[in-house]
Structure 1
Amino acid sequence: MRLETGSERLEGSSDSRWRAATPAGAWIESLDDSDVHPLLACYLERREELVRYFRVRLRSEEAAQDLVQDIYLKITPPPAAPIDNPAAYLYRLGTNLMLDRIKTQRRAGQRDAQWRGAGGPSATDWETADEPRADDALAARQRLAQIVAVVNDLPPAVQEAFRLHKLEGLNHAETAAAMGVSRSSVEKYIMTSLKRIVAKVGR
């Protein structure tokens, strides 16, 4: 990859603005091609693509920009071990960062809900009004625990494909990009996981 400099930079692109406006971008532009680690080179080539990808997932331009910046911070300095597929590594890293953020936000929301509910209905109210719903919730939790147990016994690649596709909502192509495998492999992984769940838990 050849880095852009001076008049060769595309005016108005978010990538060029990022390079010009941030110390990280300015530092990268000061390097010769031979000085750039393949992972950093891949990041530069795919930065705008990464922003678009995570903007769809997060439904926020600002959140996507922040996440992609966090990816850069995670790969600087680059890992010492060689990386066979830098693009897949970046997507997987970004996905993990995104999931960490979602989990943090979810925990914060749960704490807020508990706080707001501190003055809620009495125990008697719950017993008289919500007893059937409590039974349904218990059954749902038990079924979920069974599914989790089945998935945890699957091979790692099948587990990851199931998590990305079924839990995080990525389509097959996006899951394949995040994992660095072919789309047909993802389809096979998903089918394997679903067959195992149906066999162990039922439909």
Structure 2
Amino acid sequence: MPGRWAVENEQNCAEGLTAVLAAQRTQLLRFFTSRTGSEAEAEDVVQEIWLHVARADTGPVANPMAFLYRTGMNIVVDRVRERQRRIRREQGWSATVVEHRGGEATDESPSPYDVVEGRDQAAHLAKAIDALPPGAARVFRRHKLDGLSHAEVAAEFGISRSAVEKHIAVALRHLRQAIER
């Protein structure tokens, strides 16, 4: 447990750095404005320095201005790195979700209306598949939905490849008529 002298010494160091920070605020703002290119960002950096000094457990500092400059430059570097990470993350997201046409960013994802319409069409198609004649339905499902070749479907059901083709033709004709209605 720290003694009373250690606690008072830490408070004096923090108060001393805060006093130097207050006295040299204008100089620090000028310095960080030249480093960041923005007065607003320089204000933010100086504010973060103040927060750092207020909560830091530092002992006596031999050169308070050097300490404040170094603390501020660490903050600037952290901000630059964070900005670069954010830009890379946003570019990665943008590259996968947004398409650029004529210099303009366009979102190619379907609209909510298109999503609902697509679901309705899928439900309508599923009902149409369920309404197929039994032989055509079995062959159609195995070939088109399960991905088996005509030869594999023919072997599975013990029918000729020609019969598979006829069942597929019947199924497609029924589905076309159901979709057109």
Q: What TM-score, normalized to structure 2?
A: 0.44
- Which has the higher Rg, Structure 1 or Structure 2? 2
